[in-house]
Amino acid sequence: MYIGLFSMIILIAGLSFSKSGSDMKSFFAAGGGVHWSVSGLSLFMSFFSAGTFVVWGSIAYESGLVAVAIQLTMCVAGLLVALLIAPAWRKTGALTAAEFIRNRLGKRVQKFYTILILFLSLAYMGAFLYPVAKIVNISTGFSIEWSVIFIGLLVMAYTVVGGLWAVIVTDVLQFVILTAAVLMVVPLGLENVGGFARFTELAPEDFFSWVNEEYSIVFLFAFGIYNTIFIGGNWAYVQRYTSVSTPKDARKVGLLFSGLYVISPIIWMLPPMIYRVVNTDLGGLENEGAYLLACKAWLPVGMLGLMIGGMIFATASSVNTNLNLSAAVFTNDVYKLFRPNATNKQTMWVARFSTFLFGIGTIIVALMVPALGGIVEVVLTVGAVTGCSLYGPPIWAIFSKRHTGNSILACTLIGLSINLIFKFITPFFGLALDRSYEMLAGAIIPLALLLAYEIWAKVTSPETKVMGYSSPEVKTDDQADDDGTAEQNSYGMKVLSITMVIIGLLVLSISIFSPSERPLVIGMGAFISTVAILIHPRVSILKRLSNND
């Protein structure tokens, strides 16, 4: 019952923005004035969701603290993005990363990146949708195939209608319920095994080591570089930096993301780690279900329903984020090139219809994931081969005055080619990179190419400047949003506040059926409801915080 109620809340919250996406800026950048705290939480949820429960949950069950060490690299990456990359994106004045590439590097380069990004977005979205289906399969018994289709259509529904505001609000709602559930399942799990000391006694040898043979220090270093580029350059995440009011707010988005990754890895990874000492029999792809099995074992029934619903939609948030991105790129950077004089009504129709088509493609790809070796292999391999080669060069172009469209395109193609050769060709000749060095090669090679051209251009043409490009005027940190943006943001916060109150009441209702956990449940429900009231526009604690900055 609680799974269905939570699903209805998420869907209604998303559909409530059906009238807010009336133009390109509101549909794809949420009006350009989202509060940094909301955008930061949305970035956090969009980034971590698919991996936490399946990929990193599996590693935590198998290797313990290694999973925490891997995720701490995301904290460092987020800090670097906040200090250097996020404000730079906001200063470009572009609505999307593709728009910046077209303005800075030319239409030809933009078309190449658009095709490649749209193709890879289907791979990423399909890979993220598959674990959602696995969660539904484990919890309900529905087949994975029908689960993929059902969740895919549901995610399409609120992304097609509401645009980026729908994505952002549902991301924050998922963060609230999942954080509440995890803060409950950790003490309940430790109580089940006899306390933290008993847990450490029963844990396998080396379970609390930060690295192991597969995930070495080399892997952590390389993965940190990859995460910096991926968080800073992924086109879906760039929207979180361009949808806030000022560069200063964009920096805060990154800082909030980084701060959450200081404390969240150990909290989020404890449930599958504790479950390892309870059930040691999971092996192979069964490890991917360790997180959900831990929650099923210890959470009260009602809270378990909310947790499962949150896990489903949190993982799906990576899908809806990329759906919104793909539609934004196609509409803003492909359709408008062929129909520059299209009316707003025509443009919005294309935006929603393209979201639908990309959603169908996502469902098809998700059905193919098992044949590709499972979600862990797909996520890490695609990241190592494509991440830095694809997203690194555009980031470099923001800061460089010497790189041209041709040089950026060449660095991307050469980097991708070298990584593909190491992945698929050299193993036939006895040169196969392990996971650590595969990730290191994927991170270092494109950056080395970019640096090499920068040095060459400086030596051969010391006065080289980029001609024909200037950043559009953007708001400074002291300029206010226009009335339309402020009204849209007020409506968004109102929807978020109301839905959080409903979730808080749902959590409180669980205490009726769970007498043994009643104090914990009541405290969590009251906390959620209190926060919901404080963020309502009529109370507007977030506005007061902004005014104090």
Distance CA 415, CA 417 (A): 5
Give DSSP secondary structure letters for 156-184.
HHHHHHHHHHHHHHHHHHHHHHHHHHHHH
Distance CA 474, CA 472 (A): 6
Residue in the structure block whose two tokens are 């450490």: 200
Give DSSP secondary structure letters for 27-71.
HHHGGG---HHHHHHHHHHHHHHHIIIIIIHHHHHHHTTHHHHHH
Residue in the structure block whose two tokens are 């050299």: 426
Quote the pLDDT of residue 40.
Answer: 86
The answer to whether the CB of 250 falls within 8 A of the CB of 92 is no
The number of helix segments (H) and strand segments (E) in the chain equals: 23, 0
Residue 72 token pair: 């701490």
Domains, the chain, in order of start with CATH, read: 2-463 (1.20.1730.10)
Measured CA to CA in angstroms, residue 540 lies from 81, 245, 531, 535 at distances of 28, 17, 11, 5
Quote the DSSP letter at residue 367: T
Quote the pLDDT of residue 66.
Answer: 96
Kindly list the averaged pLDDT for each block of 10 residues, start to end, along the chain of length 549. 71 63 47 71 72 80 94 95 95 86 88 79 74 74 81 68 58 76 89 93 93 92 94 88 89 94 91 93 78 86 76 64 70 75 79 79 78 65 84 94 92 92 88 87 94 92 55 50 57 79 86 80 86 74 53
The answer to whether the CB of 401 falls within 8 A of the CB of 466 is yes
Distance CA 376, CA 382 (A): 10
Neighbour-count burial of 470, counting CB atoms closer than 10 A to its CB (0-12 exposed, 13-18 middle, 19+ buried): exposed
| Distance linking the first and last C-alpha atoms of the chain | 43
Quote the pLDDT of residue 64.
Answer: 94
- What angle (nearest 5°) sits at the alpha carbon of residue 209, between those of residues 207 and 212? 95
Distance CA 421, CA 444 (A): 15
Q: Taking the CA atoms of the chain, what radius of gyration do you get in angstroms?
A: 23
Local structure of 55: helix, strand or coil = helix
Distance CA 506, CA 510 (A): 7
79 sits in which H/E element = helix 66-80
Quote the pLDDT of residue 540.
Answer: 56
pTM of the model: 0.78
Quote the pLDDT of residue 377.
Answer: 66
Distance CA 6, CA 177 (A): 9
Cα-based torsion angle of the residue sequence 409, 411, 417, 419 in order, rounded to the nearest 10 degrees: -140
Q: Minimal CA–CA distance to 328: which of 175, 167, 212?
A: 167
The answer to whether the CB of 66 falls within 8 A of the CB of 59 is yes
Residue 355 token pair: 């979201």
